[in-house]
Amino acid sequence: MAEPAYTRLQVDERRRQLIDAGSTLFAEYSFEEISMRQIAEAAGVSKALLYHYFPNKIELFKAAIQEHAGDLQRITEPSGQGTPIDQLSESLDGYLAWIERNAVTWAKLVQSATALPEAREVVQSFRAATLQNIVVRLTGTRSPPPALRTTLQGWLGYIDAAILDWVDNRDLTREQLRDLLVAAFAAALLAAQQADPKVRLDVA
C-alpha cells in the first residue's frame, strides 16, 4: 500500500542519469547560471545525492561537458588524407557544422570555459589534440619555437572570436567562414615565419 519514498538505482545508472541532467542544463546555461540544486531537481533527486556522486560542482561540470567534447572530438577527427591544410579545412568544417547545430551550447561552453581555469583545460586539451597532428606534420617538431607557439595560441583565439562574431551575425556561409579561418591560419604561419626566421614550415 505504501509506495517507496524514493527508488534506488544502480550506481552506474544513477551516475549516467545525473551526468545527462547536467549535460542538458549546461548545454543551455553557463556554469554560474546553473545551481547544484537545479540540477538535482531536474534529475528528481536530492542535492546531497549529487554530492555523493561528484565531489564538487566543477567535477560534475567537467563530466557533463566531456560528453559534448566527445562528440566534437569524433566529428573533427581528420581523415588523414590530403595536405595538412586540407585536413585542417576538413576538421574545421565538421567543427563549424556542429556549432551551427548547437550555437547556444557552444556559446555557453566558451563562456564557462574562459571563466574557469579548470574547465579551460578540458577545452584546450581537446583542441590541442586536433591541432597537434597538423602542427607536427607541418613543422616537423613537437615543441615549436616561441614565436610559432604564440602564433598558434593566437590563432585559436582568432577562431573563437571569429566564430562568436559569426554566431551573432550569421551573415557568412559556413564555407566562407571555414575558408577565412584556413586562410588566416596560413597567413598567421607566414607572419610567424617572417617575424622569426627560426620558424620553418614544410609547406611553402
Across the chain, which distance is largest between two alpha carbons, in Å? 82
The Cβ of residue 181 has, within 10 Å, a number of other Cβ atoms equal to: 22
- Contacts with its own copies, 100-119, as mask; x by CB under 8 A: -----------x--xx-x--
- State phi, psi for 7 to the nearest 5 degrees: -100, 140
Of its own copies, DNA, none, which one sits near residue 183, judging by CB under 5 to 8 A according to partner kind? its own copies
Of DNA, its own copies, none, which one sits near residue 111, judging by CB under 5 to 8 A according to partner kind? its own copies
Burial of 203 per CB tally in 10 Å (0-12, 13-18, 19+): exposed
Of its own copies, DNA, none, which one sits near residue 47, judging by CB under 5 to 8 A according to partner kind? DNA
Cβ 160 to its own copies shortest distance, Å: 5
Q: Does 203 bind its own copies (CB under 8 A)?
A: no
Q: Per residue in 1-12, is it b (16+ CB within 10 Å) or e — as a string?
A: eeeeeeeeeeee
Of DNA, its own copies, none, which one sits near residue 161, judging by CB under 5 to 8 A according to partner kind? its own copies
Rg (CA), the chain: 21
Which 32-61 residues touch its own copies, going by CB under 8 A? 32
Which 161-190 residues touch its own copies, going by CB under 8 A? 161-162, 164-166, 169, 171-172, 176-177, 179-181, 183-184, 186-188, 190
- Contacts with DNA, 159-198, as mask; x by CB under 7 A: ----------------------------------------
When binding is defined by CB under 8 A, the residue of 26, 98, 106, 155 that contacts its own copies is: 155
Which 56-115 residues touch DNA, going by CB under 7 A? 56-58
Query: Which candidate, 17, 50, 24, places its Cα nearest to that of 36?
Result: 50
Distance between CA atoms of residues 129 and 203, nearest Å: 21
Distance between CA atoms of residues 151 and 189, nearest Å: 7
Nearer Cβ to DNA (19/45): 45
Dihedral (Cα; 25, 31, 32, 38), 10-degree rounding: 30
Residue identified by cell 615549436 is 144
Contact set with its own copies (CB under 8 A): 32, 111, 114-115, 117, 146-147, 149-151, 153-162, 164-166, 169, 171-172, 176-177, 179-181, 183-184, 186-188, 190-192, 194-196
